[in-house]
């Protein structure tokens, strides 16, 4: 499998809605709301697909959306979903990193989101990315589930020069194999 991310198009709406309904069931967005999101000049939606799948087998692995008017200073993670068959490999983190990068391009200083209080995996992901809890919205989701309101102060992009004699920025992140092996055993 080879995961490929690209900007979502209106032609992706049907596949997005299948995953939306599968993931969020009673809290799924209506199709017309998702269509408006995809068409909005203030929104940035990505999809992830298996780049090695062919024909009808090309399935949607995940999607995520950011609402952030350029120059507005603030943005909202509108939604993120990863297909159940692919959860746990880091796709959600990759989608979030891509949205944070886009927010930075739009000069967004803060990103907000809501997450179900009963979703510890998503909450842990957001906390690991630097989001902090700023409040609780009582009974926000159907079934009376609270939403945890979170905020990320968008960190500046970090650029480092490559080490002398190396090719590319990735060389600055190199760790000798024996050190990585020792770290993995800890």
Q: Which residues are catalytic?
A: 114, 126
Tokens standing for residue 141 = 């989701």
Instruction: Give the C-alpha separation, 127 to 98, whole Å.
Output: 16
Nearest to 38 by CA among 4, 74, 66, 71: 66
In eight-state DSSP terms, residue 174 is: -
Per-residue CA distances from 178 to 81, 114, 165 (Å):
37, 41, 21
Instruction: Give the C-alpha separation, 67 to 13, whole Å.
Output: 17
Q: Where are the alpha helices (DSSP H) in the chain?
A: 13-24, 31-39, 91-105, 120-128, 177-185
Q: How many CB atoms lie within 10 A of CB 81?
A: 22
């Amino acid at each position: 499998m080879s995961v490929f991310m690209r900007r979502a198009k209106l032609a992706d709406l049907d596949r997005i809605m299948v995953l939306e309904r599968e993931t969020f069931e009673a809290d799924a967005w209506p199709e017309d709301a998702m269509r408006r999101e995809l068409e909005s000049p203030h929104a940035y939606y990505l999809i992830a697909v298996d780049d090695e799948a062919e024909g009808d087998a090309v399935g949607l692995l995940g999607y995520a959306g950011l609402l952030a008017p350029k120059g507005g200073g603030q943005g909202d993670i509108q939604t993120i979903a990863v297909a159940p068959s692919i959860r746990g490999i880091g796709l959600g983190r990759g989608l979030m990193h891509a949205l944070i990068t886009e927010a930075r391009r739009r000069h967004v200083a803060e990103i907000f989101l809501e997450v179900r209080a009963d979703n510890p995996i998503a909450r842990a992901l957001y906390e690991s990315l630097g989001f902090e809890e700023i409040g609780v919205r009582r009974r926000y989701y159907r079934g009376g589930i609270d939403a945890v309101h979170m905020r990320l102060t968008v960190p500046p992009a970090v650029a480092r020069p490559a080490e002398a004699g190396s090719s590319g920025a990735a060389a600055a992140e190199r760790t000798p194999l024996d050190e990585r092996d020792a770290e993995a055993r800890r």
